[in-house]
Structure 1
């Protein structure tokens, strides 16, 4: 059962995913969680680093689509300055939101990667929708109250993953030789 939580890659930060690495792995679209992955959960305005990363991906013709469990109002407020498409109320860990994004934007599962900071929602949803996943470290050490319980369970799951898959380590990029 723990294998359903095993990410394809573990990369320290979403901004470490370069267009070259993504293209080398056949990625045409990045599905991304919002809070503590793309932006800090308590700062919906993003950062200059985020704007730079989004510009690089746009120039490389790699689409970024937010897939969030948040409400339409919350996601719209956060992504409006970046003009990013999104799926709100994605119901992760269910694969529904990811499958909806694949269908809406006519994407194949093998050309998509889901990036998120939670094993129990983002990675599980990716695994069950048949897309590769990138687990990133949360932008902030703190979380919204609704996420705190998941973080406790996640520690147990991560311990088990590392026990069963000792090669599972944090990376700086998507180097295929380190693919898990």
Structure 2
């Protein structure tokens, strides 16, 4: 299939739908996540109560959460300052640089890591290049930072080429559903 490098391993409605039990069931020890419109709405720097509850639960279970963002160090540091998570800024996605840096620094095995993001052209592609599983999530808010409009336009075209009426893009409510759907697709 053309553009396989942009096709996510899993599709889940939100990063907050990745439950501790489901992550542990799949052997996930770290969730790497994009920042804007994935973990935080780009225009809501403090995050939601849902975000804070999810982070607390994930961290309490011993699963690492690391932000891997293309934003500047100042922007990312300010955004995550109240979240108590590690981060890599200027990661240059779709290059795998930021993801590989986290793997090396934390001593993580690729099969125990998920890269979660709202963009196929940056997050999903970078995950594939780094050799980790990708989770595409819906963007938290419909608006974007001005720099993202070109990616969104190209992504719409890529989605038309990758997905069809016969094989549509399906958003799953839980990670468990996404894993089940992927396993059934292989059969």
TM-score (norm 1): 0.96
- Structure 1 runs, 4 residues or longer, greater than 4 Å off: none
Which region of structure 1 is more displaced relative to structure 2, 29-38 or 100-109? Answer: 100-109
* Structure 1 partner of 2:108: 107
Distance 1:160 1:71, change over 3 A: same
Which region of structure 1 is more displaced relative to structure 2, 31-40 or 170-179? Answer: 170-179
Q: Distance in 2 between matches of 1:83 and 1:59?
A: 12
* Structure 2 partner of 1:177: 180
SS at match of 1:157: helix
* Structure 1 partner of 2:23: 22
Structure 2: runs of 5 or more not aligned: none
SS at match of 2:44: coil
Q: Distance in 1 between matches of 2:52 and 2:139?
A: 18
Q: Distance in 2 between matches of 1:24 and 1:75?
A: 30
Spell out the pairing of 1:83-102 with structure 2 (5 A cutoff).
83-102=84-103
SS at match of 1:134: strand
Which region of structure 1 is more displaced relative to structure 2, 125-134 or 165-174? Answer: 165-174
Spell out the pairing of 1:74-85 with structure 2 (5 A cutoff).
74-85=75-86
* Structure 1 partner of 2:126: 125
Residue 134 (1) aligns with residue 139 (2): no
Structure 1: runs of 5 or more not aligned: none
TM-score (norm 2): 0.93
CA RMSD between the two structures: 1.4
SS at match of 2:150: helix
* Structure 1 partner of 2:14: 13
SS at match of 1:64: strand
Deviation at 1:163, TM superposition (A): 2.9
Deviation at 1:25, TM superposition (A): 1.1
Distance 1:33 1:101, change over 3 A: same
Residue 54 (1) aligns with residue 58 (2): no
Q: Distance in 1 between matches of 2:174 and 2:38?
A: 16
